[in-house]
């Protein structure tokens, strides 16, 4: 192969003047443009400028966040249990892979589609699901579960309702049509997300160790195939679009939102899995996600230390007259790039003909190290692949702590009047009706969460559990949960990042699962602003420190910056998804009480803080104080106590304490799917120095409630205390639907049927208006 670097052809469109205004419109700085000129040894043409624009965007290159992401551990130190080893690390491929034992593994990842969903909520969310599914099956895994993490503005605003309805409908449409169960997630509502909703989609797949596929273009002369749907003009510049703030102008940038076809993706999924099952046929495979054909060609070439040459005339196109700029930057959905072993072309064509899909040979692997694109036989792009894919400029931004943080930390609950019984009683129904706390059945009932018949613990509890049937007759039980309290991250980004991971792991432990690994979606504001970058830096540092402490590898994820609108920046929101393993079916534990007359035990001690709580927000309209304290050692001991008592068979139900505190957690345990129970709580053992509002509604961390038969209570308490965890019997469940609470200064009472009504109806009623 020739190693000469000929100039691109001289078509007028390609030689249009590259003006400073055009460079700026593509999000390229002056220094970056000078770097491009040095790389090419000349000025780029318009298509090449567009290619650099998308590949050097934050969405594709992580140029503002890569130094921070290196803080995350990407491997597991302790694999003595026979599972947990990281087989594919973060950044190596499209998604990470973790061993679950018996030569099987799970592959999982989360990504954002925030900006597209703000413009077109249905299509933005739907294609977000489609994209993350492709990331999973391109690894050779069959997708088996979906989750999502969503953030919206005030639920009572028309704009939020429109976005909320469209996003949930889009997620449901794509996942349901694909036949993949959507089993878990979290949804928060806050005014900081009013102009910039967050839509984070996660997918998990199952595969054997020997089924892992790589996205590298290897083998000089091997043919390069384009498979799947034809290319259109939708999604042009989507990666660059996702790397700038939303403004009035960008809100009208509808061509940047892709259109999805889940039925086409279902065909593509089955065809690709069948193709990859043919021994030795597939050399490398990459989905066409962000930056489309551009990203898939240069990244596979870079990973393979090779080059790729393609001819755009051979690319299937659904619109006439598409030029090279449009074809290379299109983010049309349901497409993959496959490098095939030379001489076996007939085999891939036969598979895709069977599934009635395109399988077009569009190029070949070269030894030049360059990404070469031709159209009409003339060269239109000639760029070094590694320079484009792996050597984008890296920035070390200035970080400045926002002044409000230090001021907020001076706040104390003592600045509030001590509430009387009437005020305290009014708080519980209001908290249960807070949309971020209220039941999310309106959301997950739109998802098919039972398809594949493997959902062992359905949405609504602390975590979902999926039963994976292996071809050797065995099964694996995998738990999944999503978490992130943005209020904590706003008030204390370092600690808020740690709490996101700790709470997610706590949810898994309450469900009977040992945590394996994490994927995250870092949703933040503009990194060029020192205060916004400070939040990102502190959150990532906190999360990384917690991951190292708990020995939780980060197997991949996504960074979504520039989440700012005319209303301002969002709160820092590092969405966390943790996958865990449940060793036996009998260990699966729900948060709901199965019967009355159970003893309720508080693990982890009494609450002693109120900063950042939902009680503070709902009852006092405040967002101040410090995030709750977090002792990682105590948190780890709590997980051990939960798992040890669950495995002993003595736990009837378990539920972590988070938003809303003790009484909200107890109420949620009483709202069983088919029955509403009552409970009688005696909290008079709590120190009198603890204010009643702090005791009942504070959100101190590393706490959970377990329910057990009365005769087993002593054993659970002894086990917890042996591990260094405080344990208190706080009451028992009742057949009668009364919730009665005694505390040192008085007593409170509610009808749990009435509490359940406000908890279950808040979101449906809002969406009917």
Task: Evaluate if residue 141 carries a pLDDT over 50.
Answer: yes
pLDDT in the model for residue 254: 46
Catalytic residue, candidates 26, 113, 173, 486: 113
Helix (H, G, I), strand (E, B) or coil at 554: strand
* DSSP 8-state class, residue 736: S
Read off the pLDDT band of 256 (50, 70, 90).
low
Nearest to 163 by CA among 59, 237, 232, 246: 246
Q: Would you tell me how many other CB atoms lie within 10 Å of the CB of residue 165?
A: 15
Task: Evaluate if residue 244 carries a pLDDT over 80.
Answer: no
Give the pairing of strands 142-152 and 198-208. antiparallel
Model pTM?
0.94
- What is the percent of the chain where pLDDT is above 70? 95
Read off the pLDDT band of 237 (50, 70, 90).
low
Nearest to 380 by CA among 324, 304, 309: 324
pLDDT in the model for residue 568: 87
pLDDT in the model for residue 473: 83
Is-contact 482 504, C-beta < 8 A? yes
Is-contact 503 656, C-beta < 8 A? yes
Give the tens place of pLDDT for each residue, 405-428: 999 999 999 999 999 999 999 999
Tell me the C-alpha to C-alpha distance, in Å, between residue 643 and each of 29, 294, 484, 514.
53, 47, 22, 8
pLDDT in the model for residue 349: 97
Contacts of range 36-42, beta carbons closer than 8 Å, 24 or more positions apart: 39/383, 39/384, 39/387, 40/382, 40/383, 41/5, 42/7
Mean pLDDT of all residues belonging to the chain: 93
Tell me the C-alpha to C-alpha distance, in Å, between residue 484 and each of 170, 465, 533, 543.
22, 20, 19, 11
Task: Evaluate if residue 364 carries a pLDDT over 90.
Answer: yes
CA 321 to chain centre: 38
59 catalytic per annotation = yes
* Cα distance between residue 22 and residue 14, in whole Å: 13
Q: Where are the beta strands (DSSP E) in 92-181?
A: 96-101, 104-112, 142-152
Give the pairing of strands 142-152 and 307-311. unpaired
Give the tens place of pLDDT for each residue, 426-464: 999 999 999 999 999 999 999 999 998 899 999 999 999
CA angle 505, 673, 659 (to 5 degrees): 40
> Please, where are the H alpha helices in 184-315?
238-241, 248-251, 262-276, 292-303
Nearest to 746 by CA among 673, 679, 691: 691
Give the tens place of pLDDT for each residue, 263-319: 999 999 999 999 999 999 999 999 998 788 999 999 999 999 999 999 999 999 998
User: For 537-563, what is the mean pLDDT?
Assistant: 97
Is-contact 660 615, C-beta < 8 A? yes
Write the Ramachandran bin of 382: left for phi over 0, alpha for psi from -120 to 50, otherwise beta: beta
pLDDT in the model for residue 721: 97
Task: Evaluate if residue 14 carries a pLDDT over 70.
Answer: no
Give the tens place of pLDDT for each residue, 660-716: 999 999 999 999 999 999 999 999 999 999 999 999 999 999 999 999 999 999 999
Residue with tokens 């609504």, as numbered in its chain: 460
Task: Evaluate if residue 241 carries a pLDDT over 50.
Answer: no
Catalytic residue, candidates 26, 59, 639, 655: 59
Q: What is the secondary structure of 24-71 as a DSSP string?
A: HHTT--HHHHHHHHHHHTS---HHHHHHHHHHTSHHHH-TTTHHHHTT
pLDDT in the model for residue 702: 98
173 catalytic per annotation = no
Produce one character per residue of 217-237: b if its CB has 16 or more CB atoms within 10 Å, e if not. Answer: bbbeebbbbbbbbbbbebbbb
- What is the percent of the chain where pLDDT is above 90? 90
Is-contact 523 570, C-beta < 8 A? yes
Task: Evaluate if residue 253 carries a pLDDT over 70.
Answer: no
pLDDT in the model for residue 15: 65
Q: Where are the beta strands (DSSP E) in 492-553?
A: 514-523
pLDDT in the model for residue 233: 86
Q: Exposed/middle/buried for 158, CB within 10 Å: 0-12, 13-18, 19+?
A: exposed
| Domains of the chain, each with CATH number or no CATH | 1-74+214-391 (3.90.650.10), 415-452+589-769 (3.90.650.10)
User: For 45-73, what is the mean pLDDT?
Assistant: 94
How many CA atoms does the CB half-sphere of 591 hold within 13 Å? Answer: 26
Task: Evaluate if residue 476 carries a pLDDT over 60.
Answer: yes
Helix or strand run (H / E) with residue 745: none
Q: Calculate the dihedral angle through the C-alpha atoms of 164, 169, 171, 176, rounding to the nearest 10 degrees.
A: 160
What order do you get walking across the sheet with 378-384 strand by strand?
A: 282-287, 335-340, 223-228, 358-366, 307-311, 370-375, 378-384
Q: Would you tell me how many other CB atoms lie within 10 Å of the CB of residue 583?
A: 16
Produce one character per residue of 247-286: b if its CB has 16 or more CB atoms within 10 Å, e if not. Answer: eeebeebebbbbbbbbebbbbbbbbbbebbeeeebbbbbb
Is-contact 661 699, C-beta < 8 A? yes
Lowest model confidence (mean pLDDT) among 192-196, 290-294, 606-610: 290-294
CA angle 6, 9, 12 (to 5 degrees): 150
Q: Would you tell me how many other CB atoms lie within 10 Å of the CB of residue 418?
A: 12
User: For 206-218, what is the mean pLDDT?
Assistant: 96
Tell me the C-alpha to C-alpha distance, in Å, between residue 760 and each of 150, 435, 443, 460, 602.
19, 10, 12, 11, 25
Read off the pLDDT band of 13 (50, 70, 90).
low
């Amino acid at each position: 192969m020739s190693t000469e670097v000929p100039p691109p052809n001289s078509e007028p469109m390609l030689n249009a003047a590259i003006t400073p205004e055009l460079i700026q419109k593509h999000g390229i700085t002056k220094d970056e443009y000078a770097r491009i000129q040095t790389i090419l040894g000349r000025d780029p043409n318009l298509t090449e400028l567009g290619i650099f624009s998308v590949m050097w965007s934050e969405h594709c290159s992580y140029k503002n966040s890569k130094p921070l992401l290196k803080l995350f551990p990407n491997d597991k130190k302790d694999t003595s249990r026979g599972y947990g080893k990281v087989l594919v690390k973060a950044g190596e491929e499209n998604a990470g892979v973790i061993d679950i034992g018996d030569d099987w593994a799970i592959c999982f990842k989360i990504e954002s589609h925030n900006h597209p969903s703000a413009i077109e909520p249905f299509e933005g969310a739907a294609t977000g699901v489609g994209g993350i599914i492709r990331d999973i099956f391109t690894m050779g895994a069959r997708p088996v579960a979906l989750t999502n993490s969503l953030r919206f503005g005030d639920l009572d605003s028309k704009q939020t309702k429109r976005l909320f309805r469209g996003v949930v409908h889009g997620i449901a449409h794509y996942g349901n049509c694909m036949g993949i169960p959507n089993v878990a997630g979290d949804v928060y509502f806050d005014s900081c997300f009013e102009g910039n909703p967050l839509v984070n989609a996660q997918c998990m797949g199952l595969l054997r160790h020997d089924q892992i596929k790589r996205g590298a273009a290897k083998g000089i002369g091997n043919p390069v195939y384009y498979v799947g749907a034809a290319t259109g003009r939708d999604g042009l510049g989507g990666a660059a679009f996702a790397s700038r703030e939303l403004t009035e102008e960008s809100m009208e940038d509808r061509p940047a939102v892709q259109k999805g076809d889940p039925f086409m993706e279902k065909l593509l999924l089955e065809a690709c899995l069948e193709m990859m099952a043919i021994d030795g046929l597939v050399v490398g495979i990459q989905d066409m996600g962000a930056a489309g054909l551009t990203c898939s060609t240069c990244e596979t070439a870079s990973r393979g230390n090779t080059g790729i040459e393609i001819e755009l005339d051979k690319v299937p196109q659904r619109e006439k007259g598409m030029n090279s700029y449009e074809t290379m930057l299109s983010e049309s959905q349901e497409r993959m790039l496959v490098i095939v072993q030379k001489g076996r072309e007939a085999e891939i064509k036969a598979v895709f003909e069977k599934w009635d899909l395109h399988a077009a040979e569009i190029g070949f692997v070269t030894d030049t190290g360059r990404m070469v694109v031709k159209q009409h036989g003339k060269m239109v792009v000639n760029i070094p692949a590694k320079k484009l894919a792996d050597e984008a400029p890296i920035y070390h931004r200035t970080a400045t702590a926002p002044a409000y943080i230090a001021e907020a930390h001076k706040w104390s609950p003592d600045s509030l009047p001590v509430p009387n019984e009437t005020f305290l009683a009014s708080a519980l129904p209001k908290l249960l009706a807070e949309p971020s706390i209220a039941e999310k059945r309106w959301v997950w009932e739109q998802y098919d969460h039972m398809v594949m018949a493997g959902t062992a613990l359905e949405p609504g509890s602390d975590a979902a559990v999926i039963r994976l049937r292996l071809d050797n007759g065995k099964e694996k039980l995998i738990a999944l949960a999503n978490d992130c309290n943005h209020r904590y991250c706003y008030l204390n980004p370092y600690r808020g990042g740690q709490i996101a991971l700790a709470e997610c792991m706590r949810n898994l432990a309450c469900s009977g699962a040992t945590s394996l690994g994490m994927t995250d979606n870092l949703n933040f504001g503009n990194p060029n602003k020192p205060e916004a970058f400070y939040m990102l830096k502190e959150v990532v540092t906190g999360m990384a420190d917690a991951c190292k402490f708990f020995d939780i590898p980060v197997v991949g994820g996504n960074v979504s910056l520039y989440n700012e609108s005319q209303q301002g920046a969002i709160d820092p929101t590092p969405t966390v998804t943790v996958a865990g393993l449940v060793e036996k079916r009998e260990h699966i534990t729900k948060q709901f009480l199965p019967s009355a007359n159970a003893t309720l035990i508080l693990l982890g001690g009494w609450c002693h803080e109120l900063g950042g709580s939902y009680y503070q927000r709902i009852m006092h309209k405040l967002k101040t104080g410090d995030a709750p304290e977090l002792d990682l050692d105590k948190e780890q001991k709590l997980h051990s106590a939960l798992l040890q008592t669950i495995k002993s068979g003595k736990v009837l139900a378990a539920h972590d304490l988070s938003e809303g505190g003790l009484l909200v957690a107890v109420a949620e345990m009483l709202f069983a799917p088919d029955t509403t129970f009552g409970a009688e709580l005696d909290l008079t053992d709590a120190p009198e120095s603890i204010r009643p509002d702090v005791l009942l509604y504070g959100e101190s961390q590393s706490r959970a409630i377990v329910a057990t038969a009365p005769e087993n209570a002593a054993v659970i308490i002894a086990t917890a205390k042996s591990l260094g965890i405080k344990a208190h019997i706080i009451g028992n469940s009742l057949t009668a639907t009364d919730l009665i609470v005694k505390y040192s200064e008085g007593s409170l009472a509610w009808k749990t049927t009435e509490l359940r009504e406000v908890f279950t109806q808040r979101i449906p009623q809002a969406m009917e208006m």
